[in-house]
Amino acid sequence: MHGLTLVMSAVAESSTTISAAGPVGLIAVTAGIGGLVYGLVRRRKPAPVAPQNQRVVPDPEQV
């Protein structure tokens, strides 16, 4: 019976301790989701293509 009380008191003590891991984890997940959404929205805007990167189309008359 003494062992059971020891286990119960250990469970009660561990459940009452507050750690910073919960709020920090939530903040990290929120920042990650926000960054993902920002990156997807930013990627939708077409970037101008430099003349050096234009697609080369062969002229059918020269082939």
Given pLDDT bands bounded at 50, 70 and 90, which one contains residue 15? low
Q: What does pLDDT average to over the chain? A: 76
Helix, strand, or coil here: 35? helix
Given pLDDT bands bounded at 50, 70 and 90, which one contains residue 50? confident
Residue whose entry in the numeric block shows the structure tokens 């469970």: 11
pTM listed for this prediction: 0.42
Closest C-alpha to 31, from 20, 43, 23 = 23
How far is Cα 55 from Cα 24, in angstroms, rounded to an integer?
47
Q: Is the pLDDT of residue 52 over 80?
A: yes
Tens digits of residue pLDDT in 27-40: 999 999 999 999 88
Using a pLDDT cut of 90, give the percent of the chain over it. Answer: 24
